[in-house]
Amino acid sequence: MTIGFIGLDIMGKPMSKNLLKAGYSLVVNDINKAAVEEVVSCGAKAADNAAQVAAQSDIVITMLPNSPHVKTVVCGENGVLEGAKEGLILIDMSSIAPLASQEIEKACAAKGVKMLDAPVSGGEPKAIDGSLSIMVGGDKEVFESVKDLLLVMGASAVHCGNIGAGNTTKLANQVIVALNIAAVSEAFMLATKAGVDPHLVFDAIKGGLAGSTVMNAKAPMIMDQNFKPGFKIDLHIKDLNNALETGHGVGAPLPFTALVMEILQNLHYDGCGQEDHSAIAKYYQKLTGTIIE
């Protein structure tokens, strides 16, 4: 079986390497030629465009920034559908709008291509160690046929419903993550301003009800002022924008999401868009003139 992989950025590159380690044949493409060369040096083959990737593959995985990128790579000139054979499976692991997933799936179905939307959660560390959480929408039988492949990249792969359900689940995930990081930042600023060591606060509360995977991952980064991106603020802005648009479309109120979106937008215009989303703490640091450390 040959796997095509399109999109070799922070997440896609380690995910593709894990597929190679598991013994899959891989054909890759990305606009970043250095990333392509790095994955090729691990055993992959390079293709000049998405159509060439599809022509050589049984399954194509896309891992791209947002809905327009996926639409272009799949449906555009030299796109996946130009090179696809009938029966090809497309697994879009990007985090995009659910409606966009549904539109792309219709174009795929017209060409005899089966599609799943399968966004991931866990950031770069879990992409590297192959322990991502993968949430999947689409035909259940297609999901079952590729589940073992997905579990090379993730610790879990859960079928959430029809096409678009994976991305709806991912939007719910991103809402929870963003609000968690904001809550951690706010609470640790409270402790710092009150003269209590935030490291001791973290040690005291991480095993209780306030403890979470988000706090365990992001609190040490905040206290070390280490905002090297595992998941960039600009990407979280994209996800929350999709969440808010989806919420407006289905009548789901998202007032706290809108508030955190304003914090992220403020950080973007302060030049922090390419930093990790743990840099939400910088918003509180700017307001108070106090560093959490």
What is residue 136's three-state secondary structure?
A: strand
Return the biggest CA–CA distance within the chain: 65
Active site residue 170: yes
* CB of 163 closer than 8 Å to CB of 115: yes
* CB of 64 closer than 8 Å to CB of 6: yes
Q: Is the pTM of this model over 0.95?
A: no
- Which structural domains are found in the chain, ordered by start? 2-162 (3.40.50.720), 168-288 (1.10.1040.10)
The pLDDT value recorded for residue 123 is 87
Residues 13, 126, 170, 232: which is the catalytic one?
170
In the block, residue with structure tokens 């497309």: 90
Instruction: Using CB atoms within 10 Å of the CB of residue 199, give its burial: 0 to 12 exposed, 13 to 18 middle, 19+ buried.
Output: middle
DSSP state for residue 65 in the 8-state scheme: S
d(CA 283, CA 280): 6
The backbone region for 271, taken as left when phi is positive above 0, alpha when psi lies in -120 to 50, beta otherwise, is left
In the block, residue with structure tokens 């095509």: 4
* CB of 11 closer than 8 Å to CB of 39: no
Q: How many CB atoms lie within 10 A of CB 114?
A: 20
Q: How many CB atoms lie within 10 A of CB 127?
A: 24
The residues near 190 (Cβ < 8 Å, ≥ 6 apart) are: none
Q: Where are the alpha helices (DSSP H) in the chain?
A: 12-21, 33-40, 50-55, 67-75, 80-83, 98-110, 123-129, 140-153, 165-193, 198-205, 213-223, 233-250, 255-267, 280-288
d(CA 191, CA 133): 32
Helical axes 33-40 vs 12-21, angle rounded to 10°: 20
User: Which tokens go with 101?
Assistant: 């997933």
Question: 16 forms bridges with which residues in the sheet?
Answer: none
In tens digits, the chain (293 residues) has pLDDT values of 999 999 999 999 999 999 999 999 999 999 999 999 999 999 999 999 999 999 999 999 999 999 999 999 999 999 999 999 999 999 999 999 999 999 999 999 999 999 999 999 988 999 999 999 999 999 999 999 999 999 999 999 999 999 999 999 999 999 999 999 999 999 999 999 999 999 999 999 999 999 999 999 999 999 999 999 989 999 999 999 999 999 999 999 999 999 999 999 999 999 999 999 999 999 999 999 999 99
Whose CA is closest to 272, among 221, 229, 216? 229
Helical axes 12-21 vs 140-153, angle rounded to 10°: 90
The pLDDT value recorded for residue 161 is 98
What is residue 29's three-state secondary structure?
A: strand
Element (H, E) at 114: strand 114-117
* CB of 178 closer than 8 Å to CB of 154: no
CA 281 and chain centroid, separation: 21
